[in-house]
A and B are shown apart, each in its own frame.
Chain A
């Protein structure tokens, strides 16, 4: 059984169909990359999976660990082990990262029938995970994402991911806006988290990321559909040729 199985998914916003029959299977232990032109629906897919309720799902199904994902509230999806690293992480002025993550971690733990972490265990966990993903601990002493630089926000997302220990992590352009060193650091963090139980969906525009994190499968999303899937070599082909040849083949215009 796949960890995540998306069948013929159609999603629209205000009568404007964005996902037009998308199917994708992700097994535990795999890393999938999704590439595609701007506006093709990549972030929409991520949002629909995470449970944002702006979308109207007219057709299709999504199961996660065998359960109907679309029936769950967003917080329940996260508690069940899905994690979305946002393309544009949101600032929460005045909300301490500490309080935010403690609420998050304990909500997830409660759902998984684990004891709530004591303050000292929680602090230990924060320290450990911050080191693990090489995050400047100073950032954890500030309000959530408030005034963070673009790159800092992306790193903080990876840190939050490590804190919540998901089964499936969807990273929406986490590599965009990172400098070369940060890209390496973030990629190392992800590689360290890679194991046979956990899967990743990396949404990216750059083959560069895939040099650091070698995916099992690469998919090209165009016009709300996956028009081609392949191995890592597909990413290289895209890097060299762009999307036009695929657009022609798929009979859509970007």
Chain B
């Protein structure tokens, strides 16, 4: 990684467009089209789930239909979401015709090849050193690397489905505790039809020696992906977890409704990083992934800490607010975000920091970058409850505009119910200035390189917080997305 230079980086960027748009040609076992109790029973049966989980799914489904009937699709976001026909989609697709892979040797070569193409080699000898990967295609986890090695430290890192089989008590005790299915429409949908995602368990006092990561890939057409991830970090534990996502280019939209829950006990620290690169739709705004995500962390223990870092560059529509409930005294929540939109992309993203415990602290730094005809909003809530003595928050929301057809908006909400709280909020909006562009060009730098330099400079503070293995990738990705945004 250290031999990778800025120039290689710009060279790489020359390759234009969305290069993850291919489709893996593999047979796929699908649930019958549409959303019903039968669909839910089918998914649960495919995954050979215990009765309590089926029960849970069915309750969530009923709740989903109730919300839908009452017209309770979240409508407060600054988004224009076309009507979604929930009956006109598939809710489960198993690539390679298998619901479960016990060994990497069972995984069809074309799937392995395509993950490799995405930069995710799954055979351990070729795998990224220091990074354990759970690879999820459509509804199924196809492989998880370094599982055995991690198990030596008592760390559990596996697909969610596998955790349900092998660690049902841990799953049952924790799932839905941070994001109940009653939380919102998409959380209800996810709880009803969730397929795969990752499960991480860090035992007491263990520092996870590797980056854990999950790579999500949507492959099948007209198929939703309902990732569910649960991370539990026991007292004094530490883990850095990272997710990446891509999807083929398709004319029709695809739905991705995810739920991620994190629980951090006393003195535990969890870093959760996302590089989101779902297919954003065509330049004219056709197709793309609708990314409706509920991510929340419960800092339940004393001095626990959760950091969300995200680079959002893909998806036609992003609706996502990774949040922290700061329950333990002295707990810390952080949210660092770069959201880039271009063409006709729309993003409404931000965070909620809910201060419940004493001496809790939160930091929010959000940087939105809008180009083309896109719309990019930051929405954030800082809430300090009556009992949260000496809570502190610092928020900074910056927007950068490229061109004059795009929109940037900031919606900060602050609710302070304890007078000892200290809350600071700063917001700036700037344009990539002609002066800056001309200055670069007057040094022999092309317009495209100039834009890359300026935007990456703007986002650098956040990208530097990603795990080192991914920071360069993230920078590259941002530059790839910037291609064609000049002028």
Contact = CB atoms under 8 A, between A and B. Distances in A.
Interface of A: 50-52, 73-75, 78-79, 83-84, 86, 89-90, 92-96, 98-108, 111, 116, 119, 143, 160, 164
Contacts of B36: none
A24 to B, nearest CB: 20
| Secondary structure of the A contact surface, majority rule | helix
Given A102-B7, A103-B10, A103-B449, A143 B457 contact: yes
A142 to B, nearest CB: 12
A164 B443 CA distance: 8
A106 B449 CA distance: 12
Nearest to A166: B444
A84 B461 contact: no
12 contacts: A75-B441, A75-B443, A75-B444, A75-B445, A78-B441, A89-B439, A90-B439, A100-B453, A104-B444, A104-B445, A107-B449, A116-B7
A93 B443 contact: no
A95 B443 contact: no
Nearest to A107: B444
Interface in B421-439: 433, 435-436, 438-439
A95 B460 CA distance: 8
A89 B438 CA distance: 11
B442 A93 contact: no
A92 B439 contact: yes
| Secondary structure of the B contact surface, majority rule | helix
A103 B6 contact: yes
B438 A160 contact: no
Contact of B444 (A89, A96, A108, A116): A108
Contacts of A116: 7
A111 B435 CA distance: 24
Interface centre among B6, B445, B446 (most CB of A within 10 A): B445
Contacts, number: 85
A78 B435 contact: no
B456 interface: yes
Interface in B448-485: 449, 453-454, 456-461
Contact of A94 (B438, B439, B444, B460): B460
A51 B454 CA distance: 20
Contacts of A75: 441-447
Interface centre among A83, A94, A102, A105 (most CB of B within 10 A): A94
Interface in B74-93: none
Interface size bracket, B side:
20 to 34
Contacts of A51: 441-442
Contact of A119 (B5, B433, B436, B449): B5
Given A94-B457, A95-B456, A74 B442 contact: yes
Contacts of A105: 444
Contacts of B440: 92, 100, 104
Contact of A92 (B6, B10, B447, B454): B454
B444 A164 contact: yes
Contacts of B435: 90
B7 A78 contact: no
A77 B134 CA distance: 51
A160 B443 contact: yes
Interface in B41-77: none
A79 B444 contact: yes
Given A102-B7, A116-B7, A86 B439 contact: yes
Nearest to A84: B442
Contacts of A73: 441
Contacts of B5: 102, 119
A133 to B, nearest CB: 16
Interface in B127-149: none
Nearest to B449: A103
Interface centre among A83, A103, A111 (most CB of B within 10 A): A103
Nearest to A82: B442
Interface centre among A106, A108, A143, A164 (most CB of B within 10 A): A106
A126 to B, nearest CB: 13
A107 B447 CA distance: 12
Contacts of B460: 94
Contacts of A93: 457-458
A106 B7 contact: yes
A99 B441 CA distance: 14
A234 B6 CA distance: 48
Contacts of B453: 92, 95, 99-100, 103
B89 to A, nearest CB: 42
Nearest to A52: B438
Contacts of A50: 438, 442
B441 A90 contact: no
A84 B441 CA distance: 11
Nearest to B9: A99
Contacts of B449: 103, 107
A51 B438 CA distance: 9
B457 A102 contact: no
Contact of B461 (A92, A94, A107): A94
A47 to B, nearest CB: 8
A8 B460 CA distance: 46
A73 B444 CA distance: 10
A52 B435 CA distance: 9
Contacts of B456: 94-95
A111 B444 contact: yes
A52 B444 CA distance: 13
A89 B6 CA distance: 23
Contact of B442 (A78, A94, A103): A78
B458 A107 contact: no
